[in-house]
Chain A
Amino acid sequence: MFTSELNLQARRRRIAFLFLAPTLTTLLCVTVWPLVRTIWFSFTDTTTSHLYEGHWIGFDNYLSLRTLASGKVVWKGTLVDPAWWNAVWNTLYFTILSLCFETTFGLIIALTLNTHFRGRNLLRTAILIPWVIPSIVSAKMWGWMLNDQFGIINDFLLNVGLIREKIAWTANFDTAMISVLFVDIWKTTPFMTLLILSGLQMIPPDIYEAACLDGVHPVKVFFHITLPLIWPTLFVAIIFRVLDALRMFDLVYILTPGSSATKTMSAVSRENMIDFDQFAYGAAQSTLLFLFLIFFVSIALQISKTKLLEE
């Protein structure tokens, strides 16, 4: 067909295709293809130093069973690797706790910001600061403040009498995760706050006025009016946050380097892939993480669908 034979809409569709081509090509080549390769690698015995010498070994990186000459049966693979399950547990623990705290604090701060008071803009600007600071910098700043010998946190807690002796927050097995959670909550609550705030601001004020005239108690107003109305926003925010928390890496890597108390799925997988020369093994772990995310997203979509049907 000649160009001059195409009408305006057909021409526009052709141009649209041309305009989309670079973006789609980039995303296909640099995101989808690598993902496919990662999954493929997970079925090989590729090493980092010899990327092109891997062989297909099936599910061996995930789980394999070998009978030794002695007749003893040995299970191998990520799925029986305690380090992996430790990382899974750490990631889940981190995700659930950070989500709970960040949602609660986010709600409280958003409700605060949704009222009119002097200094509201100041507060809004102030809470953006933790969000914008690079994770590495926050990790270092808190690492310094949480320092066992010279950190200001220990000093402060000692002075007010909350602790008796200095605590090595990031190094201790028991407190490392608390530290990571604390810093993450500090850094990510602003994001939750702003999303929730946008949901709050979409509620028409006359609803509150009506409730006020009816003399409904503020707590009741919150649970019966505010919460249901911001639920869609909150739901999306929670999904975003969970997806982000499940792939958590940099804070852990810098704040508590090497600590098995905090190592996440991303951290373990990267470590195997890049640092330990177990490229395929790491790829298998990141594939599992990917499946994990897919699983979570499909559950979330299911929930939102049933919710929609109910309404």
Chain B
Amino acid sequence: MMKQTFKNTAFYIFVAVLILFSVFPFYYAIITSFTHGGALFQVQYWPKHFDFINYKTIFSQDNFLLSLVNSLIVATITVICSLFLGITAAYALGRVTFYGRTLLLLSILAISMFPQVAILAGLFELIRFFALFNTRWALILSYTILSLPFTVWVLTIFMRSLPVEIEEAAIIDGATPWIIITHIFWPLLRPAVITTGLLSFIGAWNEFLFALTFIRSESLRTVPMAIAFISGASEHEIPWGIIMAASVVVTVPLIILVLFFQRRIIEGLVLGGVKG
């Protein structure tokens, strides 16, 4: 009996440590974001200050607000593009039998394994060539190709699981493939669309390397860049309070997504990984 209680206690302590370890950095970022000036230099384990000045500072900076807008625009259009391309391609790969279908699907998946930096030089040239350098389109284009292989993969697996007879009934009713996708499959695909859409969105919201390379203007920066480039009055003074406030602002939307769509996100990660 004693042994059992001890085991249980140890188990729950272990779980508590895991939870604490997972969320503590974000908790600490929140505490720090409410701290200003000299108070920053006293380590605090519990929130002591509730100073909104850091938030006022970042929201009064046009460039930070712009970076939020930029990220939102870039991530949203990326999601729309990769879903549009992904759904049509997944229909072809998942529902129509043709020669070389599996090979094609595997090739698309293989593309997702390219290291970003290996296509960086060629992409840099391409983007310069089409005069997209230092525009949002440069990011939308590069983020779409980052999320596209995964989106196609997950949607294809999902499309294959939809019953054949429903599609056949629609064909007999006179539906074209486009009608089948938009009127019949779209509502059924919703879980997969949410999953892939969310993961594309998170990917585009968090991406750094391409943004760093293809964007020069401060007004076009995305949030990861904006945070990376927040600097203080002098080189040696890093404005930690402001950085943490900005970090909290860009992370909270993602955490809300995780809380609401946890199941979908986990499903997506697992589909992308295990069935690969």
Contacts and interface: CB of A to CB of B under 8 A. Distances in A.
Contacts of B26: 129, 133, 141
Nearest to B275: A236
B115 A27 contact: no
A140 B247 contact: yes
Interface stretch (A71-79, A209-217, A278-286): A278-286
Contact of A140 (B85, B111, B243): B243
User: Interface extent on A, as a size class?
Assistant: 35 or more
Interface residues of B, number: 88
A250 B209 contact: yes
A149 B15 CA distance: 31
B189 to A, nearest CB: 14
A51 interface: yes
Nearest to B177: A15
Given A112-B14, A134-B223, 8 more contacts: A15-B96, A29-B126, A37-B122, A190-B22, A237-B273, A273-B120, A283-B121, A293-B114
Contact of B142 (A23, A30, A141, A279): A30
Given A123-B15, A136-B227, A144 B121 contact: no
Given A126-B19, A246-B115, A51 B125 contact: yes
Interface in A217-238: 233, 236-237
Given A125-B259, A134-B205, A155-B43, A254 B228 contact: yes
8 contacts: A12-B96, A19-B92, A19-B177, A32-B111, A134-B223, A137-B251, A191-B269, A269-B120
A151 B166 CA distance: 60
B202 A132 contact: yes
Interface of A: 8-9, 12-13, 15-17, 19-20, 22-24, 26-27, 29-38, 41-42, 51, 109, 112, 117, 119, 122-130, 132-138, 140-142, 144-145, 147, 149-152, 155, 186, 190-191, 194-195, 198-199, 233, 236-237, 240, 243, 246-247, 249-250, 253-254, 265-266, 269-270, 273-274, 279, 282-283, 286-287, 289-290, 293, 297
B93 interface: yes
A195 to B, nearest CB: 5
Decide if the interface of chain A is mainly helix, strand, loop or mixed.
Answer: helix
Interface string B213-246: 1000000000111011000000000001001100
Nearest to B116: A247
B43 A19 contact: no
A265 B115 CA distance: 11
B122 A33 contact: yes
Contacts of B86: 23
B183 to A, nearest CB: 16
Given A31-B145, A38-B119, A270-B209, A123 B247 contact: no
Given A15-B177, A30-B145, A134 B118 contact: no
A191 B93 CA distance: 27
Nearest to A288: B118
A31 B111 contact: yes
A19 B88 contact: yes
B192 interface: no
A123 B45 contact: no
Contacts of B22: 126-127, 129-130, 186, 190
B122 A117 contact: no
B89 A20 contact: yes
A26 B227 CA distance: 31
B135 interface: no
A298 B219 CA distance: 43
B126 A30 contact: yes
